[in-house]
Amino acid sequence: MTEPSTTLLEGVRLSCMRDDRILFEELDFSLKPGQVLLLEGKNGSGKTSLLRILCGFREPDAGDVRWCGEGISGSQYYADMAYVGHMDGIKKELTVHENLKVSLALSSAGHYSIQQALDKVKLTGYDDALVQSLSAGQKRRLSLARLLITHTIVWILDEPFTSLDKQGIALIESLMVEHCTNGGMIVLTSHHDINLQGVEIQHIPLS
C-alpha cells in the first residue's frame, strides 16, 4: 500500500488559455493519499478546464501533470483515475445493471460488487430498470456507483452533487470520506459547501 505521506498526483506550473484569455498560469499543487483538492471559482474561471487537463482530455498550454513523479501520458495513471463529469456517462438505452457491467468490464474490480454498490447508492431494486426511466438524481447516483465497483485511486468529479437532494448529497459525502479513508484521493469542483469529516481538503481558488 502507498504510504500516506507520498505525493502521487502533481500539477507543476500549469497554465491554460481559452480564446486568447489566460484562465490560470503557473499553477502548482500536490496531492497525497487521503486528501481532497477542491477547485473554487466562478463560472468560466477554468475549473472544468483544469479537470479536463487532469483527465488527459486536453493538454496544458504550459506545465506538466505528474503521477508518481512521471508524466501521465502512457502511464498507469489512466487505470488509476476515474472521472464523473456534468454528463453522467451512462447509456440510457441500457438497464442499471447493464451499465455497471459495462463499467466493470473496462476496469479492475473495486471494493464493492454491483449489488453492494446499488445498495450503497440507494438504487436497490432498480437493477432491470432502463436508465431513461430514472430521475435525474437517480442517474447521478448510478454514475457515482460506477466509482464503487471499479478499482481506482483518483476520483475526478465535476459538480458531483448536481441533481441530488440533501440526503443524496450526504450519501455522496460519506462515500467520498470512505474513499479517502481507504487511501484514495479526490479532485472536485462544487458550488455546494462540502462536509467531509476527518479529510484534509486543499483549496485552489481560480479567478
Q: What is the C-alpha to C-alpha distance for residues 52 and 56, in angstroms, rounded to an integer?
A: 6
Tell me: the pLDDT tens digits for 56-92?
Answer: 999 999 999 999 999 998 778 999 999 998 777 789 9
Tell me: the pLDDT tens digits for 76-133?
Answer: 899 999 999 877 778 999 999 999 999 888 778 888 999 999 999 999 999 999 999 9
What is the span of the domain harbouring residue 58? 9-205
In a domain, residue 3? The reply is no
How confident is the prediction for the chain on average, in pLDDT? 92
145: domain CATH number?
Answer: 3.40.50.300
Band (1; pLDDT cuts 50, 70, 90) = very low
In a domain, residue 4? The reply is no
Question: 154, 180 in Cβ contact below 8 A?
Answer: no
Band (162; pLDDT cuts 50, 70, 90) = confident
Give the pLDDT score at 38: 97
Residue carrying the nine cell digits 484562465: 23
Band (52; pLDDT cuts 50, 70, 90) = very high
Beta-carbon contacts of 201 under 8 Å, excluding residues fewer than 6 positions away, are 35, 36, 37, 38, 194
In a domain, residue 2? The reply is no
pTM of the model: 0.91
In a domain, residue 1? The reply is no
What's the total number of domains in the chain? Answer: 1
Q: Integer distance in angstroms from the first to the last C-alpha of the chain?
A: 37
